[in-house]
Structure 1
């Protein structure tokens, strides 16, 4: 059966003749199951969004460590965005492809935010971070490579390669979602089919492999950071929140899609199998992220950043700093420059291990016009006044205004010394 579906050349019908949203198809004696699903999903979505938005508002109110809190806010936003967009794709199931696309786009952005949060907690720059990582001689690799140990201090470009591993997922996810939108608009995508003759299976395969690499890179940094800063933050709870919100829900959606593909989820009178899997995913995600919203109150406490005595910061300025993704642009420029230099085998100071970096005397800045003018006046004021000698008298003999000869009167050395 799976083989015939895998090689099917026709796209299954995604739209039923009946619209379940139409009230005339609802029986008065029985509440339809999809109505119950909408209500349950809406309740948990509302709970998760309210709790998370309150926590975000508190971080904006006490925005005293923007280097960390801007990434915390971006991570927290994944809960309301993911739950709301999932509920919308459940309710407006005809346009679920477009709604899921925008939801997944923010998911990739949240992954980079968690990676940058790990870097900021580890240190302000790569030199400080690598010095701390050099204290760890051996650590276990993340799953599924738990039996392999690696030494972070032996990898001089570890952070740069991990950053590239995260950014590639963002780039690939944005590219594949854009391609999916174009193919859906032109009628070639076929979201319900995993046949080799339709592009969905290839796009999902690329996304899954890229997401797996990003997950490995993130956990390779998370494991030593958790060991170094075990007493500073509740890293175990943070890991649960991030992996659930960013990876578990994605793999869960793919699993439901394969159940549809294998025929375990069947069409009903009003719903196609794909619409049913979308509804199940929306209900599960709303419940899971409602639980995550409660865990986040402990994992990302705003009280850790609140000063004593309490003094709030301008919320609008905090919102502007945390929501504008300028740092993502700089990360891509950094990664492109690094890959370009490595491809051309150009040695740069950013590639050198911090302990081996040669000490270079800073080059003094060139003096400006005002600096030269100021130094000129200072030199004239500080220069000692030299005594001036009187001019030596010159005697001339002229006849008819014609100079015959002239001579200078000699002065004694004593007279010269007394001048």
Structure 2
């Protein structure tokens, strides 16, 4: 019988195309009676039960929080994003758990998990933007320079934290992650069908290694952008009592843990031969397990545990605000207390809240991504205009200094300077005065620009 200890390096790339991965892994049996008598021969059942336990906890907590928001939907601008984020851990964990049962379809199943992950990142950033909206409206584009440190190491200097430049650049750096996540999922499925994914190897003949590199770069970019975003508006989060860091870690924490530990670390351990397969002699089904299949099972356990922890943290950071919670089941008005005029005193019904939170989700996502593209074009156009203005300003400044120095020299010689065509063109033709400083009052001296 084959040993099953083959490493990822031995797999050929490209491989046979198709959504199902070929290999010795069959459909193992689930004899729950035998697992108590011979647990070491049924590790796949033990892992499956552990994942199921954490999955049930995740779903119970998530559904409780969703129902609580739907019954107390007073602030749509904030709560619609929270409701969307709350479904991210249970849905992602469920899809990962399904890939545990059918690891031969793992790439196809995790395609949908990646989509939910990208939408969750978009939603948490949108939620923070909604919290910041009143402060942005109050600033009204006010130019407020800021200098802060990120991680107490990197210094960031902004000419205006409320300006269009920083806002649009942050949007671009954040939205690139969900957009790339969608592209990544599509590329994974297409290359898997063609046999060029090679997920169990680090061969540069397959798409997997390139996707990992790009994912690492994309994740690093969005983490830097969001950490900077949290640092720039630190005073606003503190002033409004907004748990921005807690909300951030509830979403980005699982993504980082799954990517760095579930993908990179486990792949490295499998490639180095530390994670090994079995030859089937110690299996109730006598099925050999390759190192990749053992790695896949550990990966799913990491996902389910991580998502369960994230959901429990969401009970604190994504729960209904106590000012809006109902006092009793029959209290339709609730405990609503207006806070600086930002919370709407009109509660939506549970069905309308469901429509607002979920049914308009996808159109809103693509609309905002499109608007980000339009804003990026506006920003590029504005930058070009500013550069052109600066160049013209430098030229006019040099010309002005030359004219003033010429005028001063002629005054020292006691002559009456005659205006030249160059000097006349530097000032409006409608001006009744010649282009010299002597004909203007002190408070109306013309600028050399």
* Structure 2 length-normalised TM: 0.69
Does residue 130 of structure 2 align to residue 120 of structure 1?
Answer: yes
- 3-state DSSP of counterpart to 1:150: strand
For 1:139 and 1:201, locate their aligned partners in 2 and report how far apart those are by CA, in whole Å. Answer: 36
Q: Which residue of 2 aligns with 1:353?
A: none
Residue 172, structure 1, aligned to residue 207, structure 2:
no
Contact 1:140 1:147 in 2 (8 A): yes
User: Does 2:271 correspond to 1:261?
Assistant: yes
The correspondence for 2:208, drawn from 192, 200, 211, is: 200
Q: How far apart in 2 are the matches of 1:167 and 1:151?
A: 22
Q: Tell me the matched-pair count.
A: 342
Within the candidate set 314, 324, 339, 1:296 is matched to: 314
Name which of 215, 227, 237 aligns with 2:223: 215
Distance 1:92 1:39 in 2: 15
Equivalent residue of 1:149, what SS?
strand
TM-superposed deviation, 1:193: 1.0
For residues 45 and 71 of structure 1, what CA distance do their matches in structure 2 show? 22
Q: CA deviation at 1:9?
A: 4.7
Question: How far apart are residue 160 of structure 1 and its match?
Answer: 0.8
Distance in 2 between the 1:62 and 1:152 partners? 39
The superposition leaves residues 311-353 of structure 1 with CA deviations (integer Å, 9 ceiling, x where unpaired) of 86311111111112233222222222123334445789xxxxx
Superposed counterparts of 1:396-415, under 5 Å: none
**Alignment CA distance shift 1:246-1:304 (3 Å):** farther
Q: Distance in 2 between matches of 1:199 and 1:237?
A: 35
Supply the distance in 1 between the matched residues of 2:304 and 2:143 (Cα, whole angstroms). Answer: 38
1:318 matched to 2:353: yes
**Quick check: 1:14–1:192 contact (8 Å CA) kept in 2?**
no
C-alpha contact 2:25 2:289 (8 A) present in aligned 1: no
**SS of equivalent to 1:15:** coil
Q: Which residue of 2 aligns with 1:150?
A: 156
Aligned 8 A contact 1:11 1:193 in 2: no
Q: Which runs of 5+ in 1 are unaligned?
A: 349-419
Shift of the alpha carbon at 1:59?
1.0
1:114-162 superposed Cα distances (whole Å, 9 cap, x missing partner): 111111111248554676893x7322225xxx41222344463111111
SS in 2 for 1:46: helix
Answer yes or no: is 1:55 the counterpart of 2:90.
no
SS at match of 1:138: strand
**Partner SS, residue 107 of structure 1:** helix
What is the CA–CA distance in structure 1 between the aligned matches of 2:319 and 2:36, rounded to whole Å?
48
Which residue in 2 is equivalent to 1:402?
Answer: none
User: Closer, same or farther in 2 for the Cα pair 1:334/1:139, shift >3 Å?
Assistant: same
CA distance change for structure 1 residues 264 and 305 in 2, over 3 Å: closer, same or farther? farther
- Which residue of 1 is the match for residue 303 of structure 2? 285
The whole-number CA distance in structure 2 between the counterparts of 1:126 and 1:287 is 38
Q: Structure 1 residues 288, 9: closer, same or farther in 2, change over 3 A?
A: closer
SS of equivalent to 1:139: strand
Shift of 1:303: 3.1
Q: Paired residue for 1:230?
A: 238
Report the CA distance shift for 1:53/1:168 in structure 2 as closer, same or farther (over 3 A).
same
The answer as to 2:40 corresponding to 1:33 is no
C-alpha distance 210-6 of structure 1, shift in aligned 2 (>3 A): farther
1:43 to 25, 33, 53: 53
Displacement after TM superposition at 1:293 (Å): 1.8
Change in CA separation of 1:56 and 1:95 when aligned onto 2, cut-off 3 Å: same
The runs of 5 or more residues in structure 2 that have no matched partner are: 1-7, 281-287, 327-332, 336-346, 386-449
Deviation per CA, 1:278-320, whole angstroms, max 9, x where unpaired? 2112212222222222221111221346167418631111111
The answer as to whether partners of 2:135 and 2:236 remain within 8 angstroms in 1 is: no
Residue 253 of structure 1 deviates from its aligned partner by: 2.0
Query: 1:160 and 2:195 equivalent?
Result: no
Note the aligned Cα RMSD (angstroms). Answer: 3.1
| CA distance 1:162–1:262, change in 2 (3 Å) | same
Contact 1:141 1:149 in 2 (8 A): yes
Taking the aligned partners of 2:262 and 2:214, their CA distance within structure 1 comes to 15
- What are the within-5 Å matches in structure 2 for residues 4-23 of structure 1? 5=9, 9=13, 15-16=23-24, 18-21=26-29
1:23 Cα offset (Å): 5.6
